[in-house]
Structure 1
Amino acid sequence: MIKVGIVGASGWADSSHLPALAGLDDFEVTAVATTNRAGADRVAAAHGVPLAFTDAAELAEHPEVDLVVVSVRAAGHAAVIRAALAAGKHVLSEWPLGVDAAEAEQLAREAAAAGVAHAVNLQGVHSPDVRYVADLLAAGRIGRLQAAVLVAAGDPLGGPRIPPELAWSTDPAGGTTLLTIMAGHFLAALLRITGPLTEVTARVPHAHERVEVTGTGGSVPGGGAPSQVLLLGTLANGAVASVTVHGGSGSPDGFLLRLVGTDGTLTATAPRPGSYPHWTDWEIRIDGEPAPVPAHYRTVPFDPADGPVANVAAGYREFATALARHRAPAPDFHAAAAHHRLLAALERSAATGTPQRVD
């Protein structure tokens, strides 16, 4: 049994990590922490968790915690991760790992030196639909890949309006933007299928000098935050990839993935409006014919059709399997740092107007 302490247990963790862990026999949530005592006590009581803290280091040092889950804002990830490493505890961090590639690479080095298991929560990597499409492609179901096209909505980030609870995200220094969060997650899912990019050309427009905070009558600066992410790249197998992530008010279609091969075309679309590709099930077709995901790809007692809990749980299942088999969980901090370097290459391309090689 892996005993889990969650730092930042309200908000996203309350609606995803805690329900996911409750459905898995390999884990027991023993501690939660928030910056507010009343909030920590509320979450602990709601989920039957015995320990509540307001300090991440105290949670990490407690003997009833084996794994520290980092679910605070991206700018606070490094401090909580380092508290876990100092206590010799395994650590699973939300994506993004750090506020930029340099911080992510440093955290990966520190985690390796600490000798603990470390992983990052890129849910799309664990999606049964993503894994099934990756296997279809690897098996040659549509022949050799020629082109991959992904179009997806990145709302609520990147648009002319932002909910009050996300108003802080318009400052790119916080590490939470349309590029880092939405494009980061979507690209991780896509590249799990296609393999890595070797070169990218990108545009990252900044369309909104100020962003309206809905329901308040006020606004916040938005000139530094991306409003769109446009990518044209070359994959390691020689195929081309085109990705558009648009900010704003959303899309009735959610997303579209099209893989064009020498012997066929695979398309994947959102089954419901407003669905993100890393959170939900997919409607998959090959040359127009349905290609449903076989049941054995579902490794957790949750249905991706019901939201992000299923793929979060699948990430925890991978972590437990990795520990039992004495291997590194995937994706680990090193993989996360590499993904940060990809996003940095997009930013360099956008800033210089030139293609960039991807490490």
Structure 2
Amino acid sequence: MPIRLGFIGLSTQGWASLGLVQPLFHPLLASKYTLVALCTRSEVSAAKAAQKYSELANREVKAYYGEHGVTELVHDPEVDMVAVSVKIPDHYAIVMQVIDAGKDLFVEWTPGNGYEETKRIAEAAKAKGIRVLVGAQGYQSTAVKKVKEIVDSGKIGRVLSTSILLTSAEEILLWGSKTTESGRYIHDPKNNTTILTILLGHFLVVLDNVLGEFGELTSSGAIRFPTGQYVDNEGRPTGEVFHSSSHDQVALSGTLRGKHDGTFVNIHCRAGVPCAGQRARGRRMFQWIIDGEDGTIEVKNRESDGQWGAFFTFTEKDVYLNGDKIELDEKGVNELGQAGKAWLEFAKGEAGQYTTLDDAVRVHRTLDAAAVSISEGKRVAF
């Protein structure tokens, strides 16, 4: 019997519409999930979204809206699992409702607004005995799995260090010199929608999976775009200026513990750099190097990646072993994309491999430690 899914934050546009729900209608997933309900902020948007997805699902999709709609969807007896894709500051209250109702849960990254919230969510979910899929889909990347396979095989020997360059392109309209009105809240670090928690956070889920977690770290940040312009959805300036107190440059260095104990890590995250046009000539948006005693792995973004070059979530990457390009299998299940593969893994039950709340807690502990290191200028050990 398919999992009956209710989706909070699903409209006709935005990330949930473009990246999360579309794979559910693929033949490989259509028999495993059924979209039965959705909830948006307004009655108008909910009705519009319900019409669109009823046509795609070939069945009626219920439309809920507003705060009362969230509660009604969560307690709808026809909903087995609830997906939550709203702004991070709103995650906790909604997610805890889902957990209290005993429903399985999908929650977009980051699950909670910081380490403590994420830890409380994880503890509550464990006590209730529900399963939770966390939306850090880079875990499913074919390139990531190949890198992990090479490292685990011992082909490059003992891992000595790893270096990473992560770029949030100017065209994404986050953390740089331009943003849309809907991105207003990202400029306040208290909302935890920062280059640290999003860009770095998504990558740390991948790093944690391939090499392990940090044992100690130091971090620093800078604001190169203290002011910027609001633009409309076509990129035209609205005339309004914003002021940001959120870092757009972050560096993190430290060593790992566990299986690859002592491996030195150096990460640079940057925002506001163009990925297209004359100003982008010669720039690389993403690069990941893993150096071992007997060899080296390099992962690069593809030219076709565009503004999403630094995210495994959206696009695949090219993998090189000792300078030779590795051919990746990108057919079959891989046609689902990272989000689709995560849904597929979750549907396998306990046998599935996907990002869990335990993974999120570990990564959030690192992110909070990095924030402490930036603000207090000190090394943080776990």
> Do both proteins adopt the same fold according to a TM-score greater than 0.5, normalized to the shorter chain?
yes
Of residues 77, 84, 88, the one that matches 2:102 is 88
Which SS does the other structure have where 1:247 is aligned? strand
- Are the structure 2 counterparts of residues 353 and 27 from structure 1 closer, same or farther at C-alpha, using a change threshold of 3 Å? same
Q: Which moved more, 1:197-206 or 1:2-11?
A: 197-206
Measure, in 2, the Cα distance between the counterparts of 1:32 and 1:301: 26
In structure 2, what is the equivalent of residue 246 of structure 1?
270
Cα distance in structure 2, aligned partners of 1:295 and 1:16: 18
Read off the aligned partner of 1:268 and give its amino acid letter: V
Structure 1 residue aligned with 2:89, among 65, 75, 81? Answer: 75
The answer to whether residue 188 in structure 2 is matched with residue 171 in structure 1 is yes
Partner of residue 17, structure 1: 20
| Partner Cα separation in structure 2 for residue 6 and residue 17 of structure 1 | 10
From 199, 221, 236, the counterpart of 2:243: 221
Contact 2:225-2:248 at 8 Å conserved across structures: yes
Q: CA RMSD in A?
A: 1.8
The alpha-carbon deviation at position 344 of structure 1 amounts to 0.5
| Structure 2 spans left out of the alignment, 5+ residues | 55-59, 232-236, 276-282
Which residue pairs with 1:265 in the alignment? 296
Aligned partner letter, 1:277: F
Residue of structure 2 equivalent to 1:306: none
Rounded to whole Å, the distance in 1 between the matches of 2:160 and 2:243 is 41
2:339 is the counterpart of 1:312:
yes
The aligned counterpart of 1:293 is 328
Structure 2 residue 277 is matched with structure 1 residue 255: no
Superposed CA deviations along residues 293-340 of structure 1, whole A, max 9, x for unmatched, are: 2458x63443xxxxxxx11111111211135x4x8x642223212211
Q: How many residues get paired?
A: 346
- Residue 41 of structure 1 is matched in structure 2 by 47
Which residue does the alignment assign to 1:305?
Answer: none
User: For 1:109 and 1:157, how far apart are their aligned partners in 2?
Assistant: 32
Query: Helix, strand or coil: the match of 1:284?
Result: strand
Q: Distance in 2 between the 1:250 and 1:141 partners?
A: 36
CA contact (8 A) 2:106 2:134 kept: yes
Q: Which amino acid aligns with 1:172?
A: P
Aligned residue identity for 2:45:
G
Q: Which amino acid aligns with 1:88?
A: G
Letter of the 2:16 counterpart: A
Q: Within 5 Å, give how 1:129-278 maps onto structure 2.
A: 129-155=143-169, 156-214=173-231, 215-223=237-245, 225-236=246-257, 237=260, 238-251=262-275, 252-272=283-303, 273-274=306-307, 275-278=309-312
Q: Give the whole-Å Cα distance in 1 for the aligned partners of 2:188 and 2:311.
A: 25
**Bigger shift: 233-242 or 157-166?**
157-166
SS of the aligned residue for 1:299 comes to helix
Runs of 4+ in 1 over 6 A off after TM superposition: none
**75 and 172 in structure 1: CA distance in 2 versus 1, 3 angstrom threshold:** same
Aligned to 1:51: 62
Q: Could you tell me which residue of structure 1 aligns to residue 9 of structure 2?
A: 8
**C-alpha deviation, 1:212, in angstroms:** 2.1
Mapped to 1, the partners of 2:296 and 2:48 lie a distance apart of 50
Which amino acid counterpart does residue 332 of structure 1 have in structure 2? T
* Cα distance in 1, alignment partners of residues 224 and 329 from structure 2: 43
Q: Give the drift of 1:16.
A: 1.2
Aligned 8 A contact 2:140 2:342 in 1: yes
What does residue range 346-357 of structure 1 map to in structure 2 within 5 Å?
A: 346-357=370-381
When the two structures are superposed, what TM-score results if normalisation uses the length of structure 2? 0.86
How far, CA to CA, are the matches of 1:26 and 1:276 in structure 2?
Answer: 31
**Alignment partners' CA distance in 2, 1:357 and 1:72:** 33
Match of 1:111 among 109, 125, 138: 125
Indicate the percent of aligned positions where both proteins have the same amino acid.
26
Structure 1 Cα separation of the partners of residues 118 and 51 of structure 2: 34
Q: Distance in 2 between matches of 1:151 and 1:295?
A: 24
Q: How big is each residue's C-alpha offset from its partner over 1:203-224, in whole Å with a ceiling of 9 and x where there is no partner?
A: 122334333213111122202x
Other-structure match for 1:27: 33
SS at the partner of 2:52?
helix
Residues 29-85 of structure 1: per-residue CA shift (max 9 Å, x gap): 111110111111211211225211111111111111111001000011112112211
- Equivalent of 1:61 in 75, 91, 113: 75
Distance 1:122 1:351 in 2: 26
Could you tell me how far apart the structure 1 residues matched to 2:378 and 2:285 are? 30
How far, CA to CA, are the matches of 2:100 and 2:225 in structure 1? 41
